[in-house]
Amino acid sequence: MANDNGDDARILRLSEQDNVVVLIQSVPAGERLRLDGQELVMAAGLDLGHKLALRAVPAGETIVKYGAPIGSATADISFGAHVHTHNMKSEYIANYSEDDPYEAEDGS
């Protein structure tokens, strides 16, 4: 079974800007999946909710999911590879300081 875009039906593209796709069913190791017109073989079994690279992502580049940056690659990621804590990290730096003093006022 395939999606309209030819991808395996177990793959979901959330936004057009994304460079990762999401598995919407668990897929065992060795399974062949069609993604973006190419065939890839799953190196390891992965559960629903995990991400695969939709294209090669060089180390340092932003990972985009839901059309939004969700972190950056910490290693070169090849097409179809599992994208997770081993090859990406959070880029989150609060837009505010943790110890930002807040001037509380009295009264209810």
Partner 1 sequence: MINSYLRQDGRKGIRNVVVVAYLVECGHHVARKIAQPFEDREEHDVHVIGFPGCFPNAYADRMMRALTTHPNVGAALLVSLGCESFDGQGLKAHVQASGRPGELMIIQRDGGTRSTVEAGRAWVEEALTTLQGTPRVDMKPNELVVGTICGGSDATSGLTANPAMGRAFDMLVDLGAACIFEETGELIGCEQYMADRAVTPELGQAIVDSVAKAHRHYHTLGHASISVGNAFGGLTTIEEKSMGAYAKSGSAPISGLLKPGDIPPKGGLYLLDMVPDGDVRFGFPSINDTEEIGELIACGAHVVMFSTGRGSVVGSAISPVIKVCANPETFELLWDDMDIDAGRILQGEASLEEVGKEIRNNVLAVAQGTLTNSEDLGHQEFCMKYKRFEPIGPECLPA
What does the binding site for partner 1 look like in residue numbers (CB under 8 A)?
Answer: 1, 3-4, 9, 12, 14, 22-25, 46-51, 65-71, 83-85, 88-92, 94-96, 98, 100, 102, 104-105, 108
- Least distance CB 37 / partner 1 (angstroms): 18
Pick the closer one to partner 1 by CB: 17 or 78: 17
- Least distance CB 101 / partner 1 (angstroms): 10
Taking the alpha carbons of 49, 37, 73, 29 in that order, is the dihedral positive or negative? positive
- Least distance CB 19 / partner 1 (angstroms): 13
Alpha-carbon separation of residue 66 from 17, 23, 44 (angstroms) = 8, 14, 24
- Least distance CB 38 / partner 1 (angstroms): 20
- Contact (Cβ atoms closer than 8 angstroms) between residue 81 and residue 53: yes
Close Cβ partners of 31 (under 8 Å, ≥ 6 residues apart): 41, 42
Close Cβ partners of 86 (under 8 Å, ≥ 6 residues apart): 75
Pick the closer one to partner 1 by CB: 21 or 40: 21
